[in-house]
Structure 1
Amino acid sequence: MNVWKKSLALCLTLMMLASLAACGGDQEPDETPAEEPVTLRVAALKGPTAMGMVKLMDDSKPVTEAVEEEHEDVGTSGNLYDFTLAASADEVTPLLIQGELDMACVPANLASVLYNRTKGEIVTLAVNTLGVLYMVENGNAVQSLADLKGKTIVAAGKGSTPEYALRYLLSENGIDPDADVVIDWKSEHSECVAALATGAATIALLPQPFVTVAQGKIEGLRMALDLTKEWDALDNGSALLTGVVVARKEFVEDYPAAVSDFLEQYSASVDWVNANTADAAALIGEYEIVDAAVAEKALPYCNIVCITGSEMKEKLSGYLQVLFDADPASVGADPTDESSGLPADDFYYGA
């Protein structure tokens, strides 16, 4: 009798489980609605930051144009793009703050300045360019930073990354930038190239691709020092950075899938540019970012990357700390505003 009761109970239990499974099968699965296609308004500066984005620009162009022309046979499941190429960050900054751009490639310290200026309404998505600064020489006297002692260096970029990086590296190598060297500041990099070409200077601090341009004009001009390698040799946990990709916080919160898709596509574009120098240079020339011949020679020295997440935070926060220690205003800190200073964690997307 006990055996029969146990068998009946088992059968009833199995029937109930089967019934529940059948009911569950009739229900619609819980699905998060897919985001509608989003048009991302993105700006990049004519130089290494735009060079790394050129494949994404080219791949997205036919789809975006077709959608704008309302071709019915074109799928719109991914991002659409509206790219702007600017000559300077001054053109980009107001458009980003006013909401006329969603993302922009800007100098690394400017990202922090914008974060402070907007009270945290700017986030950094990725580091897109490591150091592109080189000490060039028309001669062979400079083999190390120590060799710069007593020399005159022409440079442009006073009050920005070139000055902060140069002063920091000189100081860390036992050279007083105010007493042991003469830094002749010019208003533009082209003026530095002109000084080298006329013989008025023999040593200059230049970024790529200006280094390549100068080498094309001045016979024997060589890259004496790579400031990125000199910075890395300090092994202080930071990195010399040139550019980052930032976005409006509101846009990131409203369109998380579009942002994720962008980063995936942008990373693929950077990988392609670094692996296909000749083809990438042709595209760069086509988009009038830099002359194709110059781009092909300069690309291996432009340190184009797409670093995101915790690695981005580590490198960028360390770099900003160095700038802050040298001059708090360089990262947007306002001595009259206690809330300003180095960016908080919400500045680093995905970290």
Structure 2
Amino acid sequence: MKKLFSLTLALALALGLTACGPKEAPETETTPPAVETTPAAVESQAPESELGTNINLGLLNGPTGMGAAKLLADNEIGETVNHYTVTLGSDPANDILPKLNNGELDIAALPTNVAANLYNKTGKVQLLALNTLGVLHILENGDTVNSLADLNGKTLYAINQGTNTEYVLDYLLTQNGLDPDADVDIQWKTSEEVTSLMASGEIDLCMLPVPAATTVLMQNSDVRDAIDLSDAWTESGANGTFTMGCVVVRTEFAQENPQAVQDFLTEYEASINYIKDNPEEGAALIEQYGIVPKAAIAQAAIPQANMIFVAGQDMKSISSYYEVLFAADPESIGGSIPDDGFYYIAE
């Protein structure tokens, strides 16, 4: 097994580094006024005195942020119970973690391995909800790869070394009889580099998350979706559910504001369901708030983004997934499987 990187080197899982550079699109009557994002504060227009608790919310570009787009729109016009000041970024290590640690953020989206690592290292956060299942896809310009075993002897371009992405890939390659160090030449690059190289036809094989994978498929008709790693996870007989994204809450904030946390969960679940049930309108909001640069890409990506909402006792199902990451590299989740204190369970 190759040397894996610790949390401090982990960039966003596929979850936060998926989108290519944002491009502005014309406003339509169905989208709210433009706001700054990356990172920025998104403020409600209603007087704060008329709203509930202020929550400083950290979101990531890509799949983990997509489900919150309706929440941002409702917040902006003062239709949420809580008042949300939102920081939107692409890199959890730089945009999210420092602000969680110093108390600037109360609730934030993170890759699931980063959340466990932070809990084990500091004890300052708890898992509040799971929000994203697997979103990784292997794309090919050709027709030679139809299973992970077919990667033997090939060069695969990938992103997010040292995160869930690498650990899951290594695990699944091993489950399919391959040595990740010897049998596959894995070239780690940035999301922007891999997206550009694959879309232009300069490389033939890559692993990308949605919506970056969606972007490539839309830009290069010769590229096909060869393997969905969520399917590969199931087919390999892996334990647990491939779960890449979540939201966490600062433990101190949760203890002091239990009703605000419960209101957030209610509003966040409604937002996720709205985006999934209304992909066209949801995609417009996703573009408007800079979570994905183009509505067309967002709309195509929504069915593949595997957005979920799992809270309460059901979150503990992720423990089996953490066992897989722990076996790959204990430090990937902070040295141990999180104990029961990791899970926020409302009383």
Task: Classify the TM-score, shorter chain.
Answer: 0.7 to 0.9
CA distance in 2, matches of 1:285, 1:200: 28
1:121 to 120, 124, 137: 124
Q: Which residue of 1 aligns with 2:106?
A: 102
Instruction: Read off the aligned partner of 1:219 and give its amino acid letter.
Output: S
Instruction: Read off the aligned partner of 1:268 and give its amino acid letter.
Output: A
Structure label with greater radius of gyration: 1
CA distance in 2, matches of 1:307, 1:328: 25
Task: Determine helix, strand or coil for the equivalent of 2:157.
Answer: strand
Q: Which residue of 1 aligns with 2:271?
A: 269
CA distance in 1, matches of 2:238, 2:295: 36
* TM-score computed with the length of structure 1 as normaliser: 0.80
Q: Which residue of 2 aligns with 1:205?
A: 207
- State the 1:158 CA deviation: 1.1
- State the 1:192 CA deviation: 1.3
Percent pairwise identity: 44
Q: Does 1:92 align with 2:96?
A: yes
Q: Which residue of 1 aligns with 2:9?
A: none
Q: Which residue of 2 aligns with 1:41?
A: 56
CA distance in 2, matches of 1:142, 1:174: 15
CA distance in 1, matches of 2:281, 2:219: 24
- State the 1:198 CA deviation: 4.6
Q: Which residue of 2 aligns with 1:225?
A: 227
Q: Deviations over 1:139-196 (max 9, x none)?
A: 111111121112111111111111111000011111111122111111x112112332
CA distance in 1, matches of 2:246, 2:153: 34
Q: Which residue of 1 aligns with 2:34?
A: none
- Range moving further from structure 2, 126-135 or 214-223: 214-223
Runs of 4+ in 1 over 3 A off after TM superposition: 197-200, 234-237
Unaligned 5+ segments in structure 2 are 1-50
RMSD: 1.6
Task: Determine helix, strand or coil for the equivalent of 2:153.
Answer: coil
Q: Which residue of 2 aligns with 1:164?
A: 167
* Preserved contact between residue 200 and residue 220 of structure 2 (Cα < 8 Å): no
Q: Which residue of 1 aligns with 2:252?
A: 250
* Preserved contact between residue 67 and residue 271 of structure 2 (Cα < 8 Å): yes
Q: Does 1:50 align with 2:50?
A: no
Unaligned 5+ segments in structure 1 are 1-35, 65-75, 334-340
Task: Determine helix, strand or coil for the equivalent of 1:63.
Answer: coil
* Preserved contact between residue 176 and residue 236 of structure 2 (Cα < 8 Å): no
Task: Determine helix, strand or coil for the equivalent of 2:78.
Answer: helix
CA distance in 1, matches of 2:200, 2:295: 26
Task: Determine helix, strand or coil for the equivalent of 2:142.
Answer: coil
* TM-score computed with the length of structure 2 as normaliser: 0.81
